[in-house]
Amino acid sequence: MKSFRKYKILLVFLLAFVLIIGFSFEAEAAEEEYVWGDPEVLGLYIKYYYYFTYDPDILYMTDPEAMVKALGDKYSEYYTADEMKILLSSVEGDDIGIGIQYYFNDDGQMQVVGVIPDSPAEAAGIKVSDIIVAVDNTSIVGKTEVEAKSLLIPFLGRRINVTVERNGTKQSFDIVMDYFHVPSTTYEMLEEGIGYLRIVSFDNYLIDEIEKNVADLQAQGAKSLVLDLRGCPGGIVDVLVEALDLFLPEGVAIYIRQGNYQNYYFEVDNEYYDLPIVILVDGGSASAAELFTGSMQDAHQTTIIGTKTYGKGIMQSIYYLPSGAGVKLTTAQVFTRGYQNIQAMQGIYPDINISNTEKQLEIAICLCREAITKNTVSLSIDDKGILSSYGKAQMPVAPIIKGGSTYVPLRAIASAMGAWVNWQDGKAYVYTIGKQITINTRNNTIEVNGETAVATSINQAGSILVPLRFFGEYLGYTVNWYGESKSIVIKN
């Protein structure tokens, strides 16, 4: 993919963040050198970069941690020097620790359920299903989860001894805590032609992983993609734009407004994965995940399934202080390609709002299947039978001709075309990837992607009928009418 930046800025937002600026402020006053302290440097950061309004008296406070708290911004935080080391490694996509995933089983035991590849734990010999019974000879048995976790607090270079129980015997391992990387994605084939890619975080490893994993999925025959952003907390803004560059056609990716109300935008080129894509989201999809989803939605490149996202459209930047401590400050607001204000909207609303996670994936597969299936639908006037590549079916009423247009039962034709129909509050919502038709059953009006259409529906014997040519052509089908036999064939 080509370069995407309209303006080169390095800004970040969370739930992961990255703009790291270190300053050493020195000035000569009279005959001695004056070194700026943490409170004074922090005051400059707040004065010149902080996005929201604040009490000017904060700039004269002497405790940097208290200064950040006084901003009243839940996303702005103070970090000690040790906390900064951990924070910056996680921003980059690395963690510090021994590299295990664990849970407390029904017996209250701390059981290893995952060992991160190339981690200190893997190098030492820790295995899945090991029961951790002691850390540095301190028994975990009988401790609460909080107490047990406190024994594994990560510090770079910290050496610990971990005792595990494996197959009835105890073994001890000396482990030195170090950096390790949790993969930014997971992927698999769901069924023939449909790939699945979960994005865990928008970190510095993501783009390489996407390119590698999508290439593998395509080699396995993937012609469509389910992108799972559920629980994705966000990431680095440059990585977000690079990810959009992989999936969006040419144009603006996102807009950024800084604290001084300067506006910037990032653009992407026209080289992208031209695949049918469905995106899954939930309340844990935040920041970069929301902006990615919203910009894809604005470009009609996807259908979004799930529940409302977290609702965070502001960015935080990270700054060093002279002592080695640091702060995270809100420095900008971010808008999607179509200028959706996620912060004001309190999240991205999915096209198909459904909380059942299994149903979310089922609908996603249905939409992908429709997008990649070569389908032919055959039906006839005065005949309730309908035949498609998905099988035979009986319509509740036969197609009719009215005002020169052929009308067919909505549910039957949508099913035959592989579209998804959701009925709610007197309206029928019909979805294929990137397209939505809304039929108001109370007044028979039809909307296409939110815009009122000229066509209308009709009621017939308790069924909603829609104009076949309008309906079919909008969803990408050609409609052929054979007058003598009164038969109709539509193809995608």
Q: Where are the beta strands (DSSP E) in 200-306?
A: 224-228, 235-236, 251-258, 263-268, 277-281, 302-306
**How many other C-beta atoms can be found within 10 angstroms of the C-beta atom of residue 205?**
19
Reported as a pLDDT band with limits 50, 70 and 90, residue 126 is: very high
**How many other C-beta atoms can be found within 10 angstroms of the C-beta atom of residue 138?**
12
pLDDT (average), residues 317-334: 92
Q: How far apart are CA 74 and CA 11, in angstroms?
A: 18
What single DSSP character describes residue 348?
A: P
Report whether 281 contacts 230 (CB < 8 A). Answer: yes
Q: What is the DSSP code string of 264-287?
A: EEEEE-S------EEEEE-TT--T
> SS3 for 432?
strand
374-491 and 185-313+338-368 share a CATH fold? no
Q: Which two tokens stand for residue 207?
A: 């783009």
pLDDT (average), residues 291-313: 94
More confident residue, 194 or 451: 194
Q: How far apart are CA 406 and CA 435, in angstroms?
A: 22
pLDDT reported for residue 22? 42
Closest CA to 207 of 273, 114, 251, 282: 273
pLDDT (average), residues 297-324: 92
Length of the chain: 492
Burial of residue 304 (CB within 10 Å: 0-12, 13-18, 19+) is buried
What single DSSP character describes residue 57?
A: G
Instruction: Output the average pLDDT for the chain.
Output: 86
Q: How far apart are CA 407 and CA 411, in angstroms?
A: 12
pLDDT reported for residue 18? 35
What single DSSP character describes residue 202?
A: B
Q: Which two tokens stand for residue 294?
A: 């919203």
Q: How far apart are CA 264 and CA 258, in angstroms?
A: 8
Domain spanning 95-181: which CATH class is it, in words? mainly beta
pTM of the model as a whole: 0.80
Reported as a pLDDT band with limits 50, 70 and 90, residue 46 is: very high
CATH topology of domain 374-491: Copper Amine Oxidase; Chain A, domain 1 (3.30.457)
Residue with tokens 């770079």, as numbered in its chain: 156
Instruction: Spell out the residues 6+ positions from residue 469 whose beta carbon is closer than 8 angstroms to its own.
Output: 405, 406, 479
Q: Catalytic residue positions?
A: 287, 298, 312
**How many other C-beta atoms can be found within 10 angstroms of the C-beta atom of residue 435?**
17
What single DSSP character describes residue 300?
A: T
CATH number of 185-313+338-368: 3.90.226.10
pLDDT (average), residues 23-52: 74
User: Residue type for 383, please?
Assistant: D
pLDDT reported for residue 408? 92
- 188-192 own/partner pairs: CB under 8 Å, 24+ apart: 189/217, 189/220, 189/221, 189/222, 190/226, 190/361, 190/365, 191/365, 191/369, 192/221
Burial of residue 246 (CB within 10 Å: 0-12, 13-18, 19+) is middle
The tens digit of pLDDT for each residue in 215-228 reads 999 999 999 999 99
Report whether 97 contacts 177 (CB < 8 A). Answer: yes
pLDDT (average), residues 88-115: 80
Q: Percentage of the chain with pLDDT > 70?
A: 91
Residue with tokens 């910056």, as numbered in its chain: 88
> Of 146-155, 250-259, 340-349, 434-443, which range is least confident?
146-155
What single DSSP character describes residue 305?
A: E
pLDDT reported for residue 264? 84
User: Residue type for 113, please?
Assistant: V
Q: Which helix (H) or strand (E) holds 478?
A: strand 478-482
The tens digit of pLDDT for each residue in 400-416 reads 898 888 999 999 999 99
134: β partners: 139, 163
Q: What is the DSSP code string of 335-392?
A: E-TT---HHHHTSPPPSEE---HHHHHHHHHHHHHHHH---EEEEETT--EEEETTEE
User: Residue type for 224, please?
Assistant: S
Would the pLDDT of 11 be above 70?
A: no
Q: How wide is the angle at C-alpha 122 spanned by C-alphas 117 and 126, nearest 5°?
A: 135
Domain ranges of the chain: 95-181, 185-313+338-368, 374-491
Q: Measured between alpha carbons, how far apart are the two ends of the chain, in Å?
A: 30
pLDDT reported for residue 484? 73
The tens digit of pLDDT for each residue in 200-218 reads 889 889 999 999 999 999 9
pLDDT reported for residue 7? 34
pLDDT (average), residues 16-42: 57
Parallel/antiparallel/unpaired status of strands 302-306 and 277-281: parallel
Instruction: Spell out the residues 6+ positions from residue 362 whose beta carbon is closer than 8 angstroms to its own.
Output: none
Reported as a pLDDT band with limits 50, 70 and 90, residue 32 is: low
